[in-house]
Chain A
Amino acid sequence: MIKDRHNLIAIILVIIFGIGLFYIGTDGFRAFTAESARTYEVLQNKPEFPSVTLEDSHARTYTFDEFAEGKYVFLTFMYTSCTTVCPQLEMNMADVYDQIPSKYIGEDIVFLSISFDPTRDDPATLTKYRSYFGSDGETWRMARINDQSELDTLLEKLGVIVIPDGNGDFTHNSAFYFIGKTGHLQQVMDFTKIDEAADTVLNILDSEEEE
């Protein structure tokens, strides 16, 4: 009888331990993949966009702060040689761009696609790539970051993981990033849910206008 009780206590302890372990390991059953954990953490911390120097498709260079200057920024990360997810990502971004009323575009919000493959994505390549998606090069720009350490800091801060696969391609996570006017990350959105993302952005812009 005594032995049975010990066994029972041990079973209960193990179960409690198991629940605790899974609870902590998944942020309270919220994040079962590192990607969802990353999104969750990023949204909790709202990291500031680090200072980076961009070179866009017109070969102009400027810092991110000069470009954003008190505007919201709708952001994606891509590279032009990508044949899988990036075209989809940029297509969807174009969809969002089209859904935002033109009175906001360029005034309150700007769009930016950042390439993490600066060696191949020179201004000429970016110009060509830009034209596929109807990006005008002004209110929606495509740019590369030439300084590798700046690029790494940015990717790290926003939790973008890029792994070269050895054949000139990269495996990377994709999302829509929404940067607030103060340069802090506000939202990370699922890039496959275009309408949802556009609605979120519109709500923010509309509520801003009412104030």
Chain B
Amino acid sequence: MKQAIYGLMLYVFLILPPVANLLESIMIVHMHMQMPLLVISGFLMARFFQMKFPGFFEKWNGNGVPGILLFIVIWSYWMIPRSMDEAVTIQMVEVFKFISLPFLAGIPLRDSWIKLGKIGRNITYVFFVIMFGLMAWLYIGADSQICNNYLEVEQKTLGWGSLAFAAFLLIYVLQLLFIDQSEFE
């Protein structure tokens, strides 16, 4: 229960207008820090909902697939250049960001992850490696500005950041494949 409170504290902190404005003023921080932190806050708060409504999660997310799909949908949505732009310019979209990332991405991720088998997890990893790779290609390769609220140089920075994410994930997946995990369990 303690972690749910920490999650809530993190969430409230992230919503504070000065904090939100600061994080959103830099493109890479917006995407690779604020958004993951929102997911993490939901991830922590998930404990509360799991204890409060155990039946709901058991019934509708029994094998973890719906939850992880929802997580993927929400996360992918926020990777569209336009969503990032509109989160800054349109208030409704901003509100949706603060609701969707913790509650529709963070919570299902936690609930699904333990339920997913090895294969499900590996598919998810591969999906994200591909996705971050594509993002890197898009944001580094685009020779024009694709987000109106951010400079082109920030766009490039974001692209390299995504590439780093993809690389780290890939290394992790490779070690899962080639190192015998049972030795560490």
* A interface residues with partner B (beta carbon < 8 Å): 3-4, 6-7, 9-11, 13-15, 17-18, 21-22, 25-26, 31-38, 161, 163, 165, 171, 173
Contact = CB atoms under 8 A, between A and B. Distances in A.
A99 B3 CA distance: 68
Interface of B: 59-63, 65-66, 69-70, 73, 77, 80-83, 85-86, 89, 145-149, 151-152
Given A6-B62, A7-B62, A34 B77 contact: no
A138 to B, nearest CB: 33
Contact of A25 (B59, B83, B152): B83
A3 B60 CA distance: 8
A205 B61 CA distance: 61
A43 to B, nearest CB: 16
A7 B148 contact: no
Contacts of B63: 4, 7
Contacts of B151: 163, 165, 171
Contacts of A171: 145, 151-152
B61 A18 contact: no
Which 5 A-B residue pairings sit nearest by Cβ, starting from the closest?
A10-B66, A34-B85, A18-B73, A161-B148, A10-B60
SS of A interface (majority): helix
A7 B65 contact: yes
B89 A14 contact: no
Nearest to A161: B148
Given A14-B66, A15-B69, A32-B82, A7 B147 contact: no
B5 to A, nearest CB: 28
A37 B82 contact: yes
A3 B59 CA distance: 6
